[in-house]
């Protein structure tokens, strides 16, 4: 214990010295979103420019701070000045920024905001936390993301890391469970089961060997909350796992993470090695007598392995297929032993709960859904990225105040990924918590929010998600294996204009059968996109069937595109994006679209700024 206290004092000093460094410090966002936006090249060019100008500068990698649409981020902290963030940095900006800002103290490139201790305007620069996407957030689980080097344990410890573990060891397993109960933490993987109760059941289960599993098999299209957290702050997850394992007295833990997350896996491995080095993993952690080993299991990316019993089968080396319950994993899970499974966000929230106290955490959120929740904002929304807000925040606040709304008229939001539902604009004032979303026919899920505007066909959306869940079905139970395929077939008939009105009722009947008769959560929730779109957007289904028309001009068999001459300015943006050369015409004159070459990819429709591309219904006899 004394060794750790010495390490903690050293880490706090190092973190403070970094904030007051006599040399400039450059932080570059190197999460997956940053790297996809070119941060790797920015990192390399920054090194070259510093060498070229003979500048002595510390360079650090950080994770995603949240507004992915503003990546790559480059933060510069000059001696005596706050850390300031520059967004959407490209090679041209960087070549100007490095010499001007570091050598001359000023730059023609204005920073997005500062990351000083105060939210006040400093040196004429507003706080980054006052930016629209960030100012309404409450960052508990994301508090370190984008701020610290995720590969440096000293940064984590310097910002109160492992204070929650120290308190947990003082309280004992029963005290830890009681604190989590006071916090009201519920499973952030989607089901919302009380975390303390899950821990208590496993703690009380008979058996000398117990296991903890972190479910990092984030398989929802458009979801990246867990990935970003593991990339930006892997130590918070591992501290949460140590606390959870201590609470249930498990000495072996597994992180089940999809192999498609190579950066997250790499940073977890680095973090585990550092924890082992400093006695925070392994035997006799902090001289407490408690031992824990953490192993990483890379999954093949099967969506069904998000279900607990299928996940356990995969960890054991078997095919990932769910089994009937009971027995539940808490009494008979991995290798037949009591097993507790929590997702990444649930576990990464625990250190802050233990550090600040359960009552403090319960001060956020709604009556039945305490604390905060992370969400991934994607789709037809102005500000894409990762956010964290108190439970009970309305969809309107999330989509419009934080996300900036849609460029065209808002139509719907899909909550809970492919297992969730599509909610229309009448639900914009719905508070986002477990009970409210379930009551509307959707689910919380792990936190993916897909935003749709008037150019979205809701029948096409339902078909997309059903194709996904049907392909991901393990095939063990008949309702899911056969029912989802029949649903896809009916949706294909509808979107191709070959359906009859009776098919809509048949689709609804099969959806309810699959929902009620499937073995696991995949099949039980797969019909949600269909049932909610039928409930809130039934007129679109009827238009496809009765009028052979796709109102959003999306379904290829029901639409053909043409140029509206009166609106076309001849800007040639559509010419540039057309993959088949179907659009021709000289600049500044109305263009022509050759239907014999058009593959209906919608590229011209999406890129036109003047609404000069029309999608007309094809009349099917």
The CATH number of the domain holding residue 507 is: 1.20.1440.230
Find the mean pLDDT for residues 142-170: 98
Instruction: Give the mean pLDDT of 366-392.
Output: 96
Domain range holding 493?
458-546
Mean pLDDT of 517-524: 93
Please state the domain count of the chain: 5
Distances (CA, A) of 240 to 115, 163, 309, 386, 574: 27, 11, 22, 21, 51
Name the pTM for this structure: 0.94
Average pLDDT rounded to a whole number, residues 265-274: 98
Looking at residue 10, its pLDDT comes to: 97
**Contact assessment for residue 340 and residue 252, using Cβ atoms and an 8 Å cutoff:** no
pLDDT at position 189 is 84
Tell whether 184 and 300 lie within a shared domain.
yes
b/e 342-352 (16+ beta carbons within 10 angstroms → b): bbbbbbbbbbb
According to DSSP, the β-strands at 410-415 and 448-453 are antiparallel
Give the model's confidence band at 621: pLDDT under 50 very low, under 70 low, under 90 confident, else very high.
low
Over residues 321-341, the pLDDT tens digits come to 999 989 999 999 999 999 999
The Cα-based distances of 28 to 271, 389, 400 in angstroms read 19, 25, 28
**Residue 617 binned pLDDT confidence (cut-offs 50, 70, 90):** confident
- Residue 557 pLDDT greater than 60, yes or no: yes
Structure tokens, 11: 């880490």
Average pLDDT in the 245-269 region? 97
- As given in the structure block, the two tokens for residue 66 are 């949240």
* 490 lies in some domain: yes
pLDDT band at residue 319 using 50, 70 and 90 as cut-offs: very high
Residue whose C-alpha is closest to residue 139's, from 66, 200, 70: 66
Does residue 293 share a domain with residue 205?
yes
Burial of 135 per CB tally in 10 Å (0-12, 13-18, 19+): middle
Beta strands at 211-216 and 83-86: parallel, antiparallel or unpaired: unpaired
Measured CA distances, 596 to 271, 558, 583, 584, 589 (Å): 57, 16, 11, 13, 22
Residues 2-24 as b or e (16 or more Cβ within 10 Å = b): eebeebbeebeeebeebeeeeeb
- The verdict on residue 88 lying in a domain is yes
Percent of the residues in the chain that have a pLDDT greater than 70, as a whole number: 100
At 619 the pLDDT is 59
Sorted by sequence, the CB contacts under 8 Å of residue 514 that are 6+ apart come out as 479, 480, 483, 484, 487, 523, 524, 526, 527
CA dist 516 and 512 (Å) reads 6
Lowest average pLDDT, out of 218-222, 261-265, 277-281, goes to: 218-222
Q: Is the pLDDT of residue 205 over 70?
A: yes
- Same domain for 504 and 389, yes or no, is no
Q: What percent of the chain has pLDDT over 90?
A: 89
Q: Which parts of 316-442 fold into alpha helices (H)?
A: 344-356, 358-362, 395-396, 434-439
Picking from 419, 405, 417, the residue whose alpha carbon sits closest to that of residue 452 is 405
Same domain, 26 and 63: yes
Q: Mean pLDDT across the stretch 87-116? A: 90
User: What average pLDDT does range 468-476 have in this prediction?
Assistant: 94
Clarify whether residues 325 and 185 are in a common domain. Answer: yes
| pLDDT tens string 475-504 | 999 999 999 999 999 999 999 999 999 999
| Shared-domain flag, residues 440 and 539 | no
pLDDT band at 123 (very low <50, low <70, confident <90, very high): confident
Residue 9 resides in a domain: no
390 shares a domain with 332: no
Judge whether 4 lies within some domain: no
pLDDT (mean) for 503-530: 96
Predicted pLDDT at 407? 92
Same domain for 512 and 539, yes or no, is yes
Element (H, E) at 110: none
Average pLDDT rounded to a whole number, residues 182-206: 94
Average pLDDT for the chain: 95
The length of the chain, given as a count of residues:
621
């Amino acid at each position: 214990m004394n060794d750790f206290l010495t390490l903690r004092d050293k880490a706090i000093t190092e973190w403070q010295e970094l904030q007051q460094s006599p040399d400039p410090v450059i932080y570059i966002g190197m999460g997956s979103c940053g790297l996809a936006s070119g941060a790797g090249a920015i990192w390399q060019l920054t090194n070259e420019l510093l060498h070229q100008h003979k500048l002595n500068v510390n360079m650090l990698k950080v994770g995603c701070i949240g507004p992915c649409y503003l990546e790559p981020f480059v933060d510069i902290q000059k001696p005596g000045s706050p850390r300031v963030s520059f967004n959407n940095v490209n090679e041209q900006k960087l070549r100007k920024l490095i010499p001007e800002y570091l050598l001359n103290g000023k730059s023609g490139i204005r920073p997005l905001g500062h990351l000083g201790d105060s939210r006040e305007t400093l040196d004429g620069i507003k706080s980054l936390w006052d930016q629209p996407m960030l100012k309404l957030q409450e960052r508990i689980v994301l508090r370190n993301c984008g701020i610290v080097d995720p590969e440096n344990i000293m940064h984590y410890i310097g910002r109160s890391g492992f204070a929650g573990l120290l308190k947990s060891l003082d309280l004992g397993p029963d005290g830890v469970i009681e604190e989590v109960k006071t916090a009201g933490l519920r499973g952030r993987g989607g089901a919302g089961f009380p975390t303390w109760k899950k821990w208590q059941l496993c703690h009380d289960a008979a058996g000398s060997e117990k296991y903890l599993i972190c479910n990092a098999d984030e398989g929802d299209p458009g979801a990246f909350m867990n990935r970003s957290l593991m990339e930006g702050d892997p130590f918070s997850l591992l501290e949460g796992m140590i606390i959870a394992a201590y609470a249930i007295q498990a000495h072996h833990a597994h992180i089940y993470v999809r192999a498609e997350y190579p950066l997250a896996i790499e940073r977890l491995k680095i973090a585990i090695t550092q924890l082992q080095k400093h006695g925070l993993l392994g035997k006799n952690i902090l001289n407490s007598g408690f031992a824990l080993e953490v192993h990483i299991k890379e999954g093949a990316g099967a969506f069904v392995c998000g279900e607990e019993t299928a996940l356990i089968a995969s960890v054991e080396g078997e095919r990932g297929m769910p089994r009937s319950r009971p027995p539940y994993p808490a009494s008979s899970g991995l290798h037949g032993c009591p097993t507790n499974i929590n997702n990444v966000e649930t576990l990464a929230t625990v250190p802050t709960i233990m550090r600040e106290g359960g009552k403090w955490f319960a001060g956020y959120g709604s009556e039945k859904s305490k604390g905060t929740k992370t969400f991934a904002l994607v789709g037809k929304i102005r500000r894409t990225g990762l956010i964290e807000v108190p439970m009970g925040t309305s969809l309107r606040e999330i989509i419009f105040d934080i996300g900036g709304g849609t460029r065209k008229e808002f139509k719907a939001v899909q909550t809970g990924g492919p297992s969730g539902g599509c909610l229309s604009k009448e639900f914009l004032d719905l508070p986002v918590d477990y009970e409210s979303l379930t009551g509307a026919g959707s689910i919380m899920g792990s936190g993916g929010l897909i935003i749709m505007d008037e150019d979205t066909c809701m029948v096409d959306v339902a078909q997309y998600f059903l194709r996904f869940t049907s392909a991901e079905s393990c095939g063990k139970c008949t309702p899911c294996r056969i029912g989802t395929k029949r649903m896809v077939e009916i949706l294909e008939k509808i979107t191709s204009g070959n359906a009859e009105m009776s098919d809509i009722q048949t689709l609804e009947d099969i959806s309810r059968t699959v929902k009620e008769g499937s073995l696991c959560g995949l099949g039980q929730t797969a019909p949600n996109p269909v049932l909610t779109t039928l409930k809130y957007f039934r007129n679109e289904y009827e238009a496809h069937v009765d009028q052979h028309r796709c109102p959003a001009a999306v379904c290829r068999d029901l639409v053909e595109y043409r140029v509206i001459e009166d609106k076309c300015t001849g800007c040639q943006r559509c010419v540039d994006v057309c993959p088949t050369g179907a659009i021709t015409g000289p600049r500044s004159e109305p263009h022509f679209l050759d239907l014999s070459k058009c593959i209906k990819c919608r590229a011209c429709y999406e890129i036109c700024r003047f609404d000069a591309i029309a999608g007309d219904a094809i009349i099917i006899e």
